[in-house]
């Protein structure tokens, strides 16, 4: 049975079973699956607990029971550090920095990490954990800032900037991120944590301004400031020298990656890539999430 022949629903059921791992001779798990959008976690945090913590636990249990897994690569996030990484210092490396998540999303990812480490300690699971900065590029769902901004500008709609837009984020093009995962998968030391850090650090406001310039839109006309998140980390800085020691380096410069991304989203055929993205383009998607929860509660009453 080829994995590609399975429907999405059946495959989701199969990967929870250790017999599937044995039957398909699977020896490596790269665990990317997660709920990842911070705004959504403020609106419906229970989904993040279920997906990011329970989902990870299910994969860990199946991996241990299969007795076939030689590497379990767990993809986490720089957000587990919270603002402890605000200042570039020794505390920005993997071993010295404490975990201090500040929102339901990052808290769920930190909890998942604890499960991974526990399975490594108790059952000898050969894990590796990554904590990465923001990734961008073609095919990214438009709940994320860059594709959201591109979609809005292409529709002549304003870009909503949370607060004053001064929050700093590091951005890495998708091919560099893929190369980092490949390096860690094949060269990383077991039961270790690797930061995946980008040198391209930008304020959210400057990202919007760069996109306006690239898409020939007036930033004064198309950028609007809206209410900030319940809490918005000012900056994430991570030291990725440990990853660089494996031979990895960032290749794609910010403006080059942004140009490729904009061109992909502006192709006419991309308008049907996702069926319905209107809710993702809201300034605060949590409003939509809360509305759905209220509707569900009323229907169950």
Q: Which of the residues are catalytic?
A: 78-79, 105
Return d(Cα 38, Cα 11) in angstroms, integer. Answer: 27
Return d(Cα 62, Cα 211) in angstroms, integer. Answer: 44
Residues in the chain: 301
Distances (CA, A) of 130 to 28, 111, 283: 15, 14, 29
- Give the other-Cβ count within 10 Å of 45's Cβ: 18
The separation between CA 128 and the C-alpha centre of its own chain, rounded to angstroms, equals: 17
Structure tokens at 240: 């990725």
Structure tokens at 161: 């900037």
| Residue partners of 202: CB distance under 8 A and separation at least 6 | 168, 169, 170, 171, 210, 254
Structure tokens at 232: 């918005």
């Amino acid at each position: 049975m080829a994995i590609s022949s399975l429907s999405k629903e059946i495959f989701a059921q199969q990967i929870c079973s250790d017999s599937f791992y044995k039957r398909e001779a699977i020896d490596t798990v790269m665990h990317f699956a997660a709920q990842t959008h911070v705004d959504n976690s403020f609106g419906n945090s229970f989904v993040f607990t279920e997906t990011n913590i329970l989902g990870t636990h299910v994969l860990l249990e199946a991996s241990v029971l299969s007795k076939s897994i030689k590497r379990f690569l767990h993809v986490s996030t720089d957000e587990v550090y919270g603002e402890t990484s605000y200042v570039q210092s020794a505390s920005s490396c993997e071993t010295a920095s404490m975990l201090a998540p500040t929102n339901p999303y990052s808290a769920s990812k930190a909890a998942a990490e604890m499960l991974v480490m526990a399975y490594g300690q108790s059952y000898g699971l050969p894990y590796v954990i990554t904590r990465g900065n923001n990734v961008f590029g073609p095919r990214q769902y438009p709940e994320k800032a860059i594709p959201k901004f591109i979609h809005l500008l292409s529709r002549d709609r304003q870009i909503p900037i949370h607060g004053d837009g001064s929050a700093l984020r590091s951005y890495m093009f998708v091919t560099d991120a893929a190369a980092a995962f490949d390096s860690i998968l094949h060269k990383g030391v077991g039961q270790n944590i690797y930061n995946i850090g980008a040198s391209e650090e930008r304020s959210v406001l400057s990202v919007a301004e760069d996109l306006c310039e690239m898409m020939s839109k007036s930033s004064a006309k198309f950028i609007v400031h809206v209410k900030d998140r319940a809490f918005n980390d000012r900056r994430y800085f991570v030291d990725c020298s440990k990853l660089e020691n494996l031979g990895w380096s960032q290749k794609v410069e910010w403006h080059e990656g942004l140009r490729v991304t904009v061109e992909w989203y502006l192709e006419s055929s991309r308008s049907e890539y996702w069926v319905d993205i209107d809710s993702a383009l809201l300034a605060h998607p949590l409003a939509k999430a809360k509305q759905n929860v209220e509707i569900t509660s009323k229907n169950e009453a």
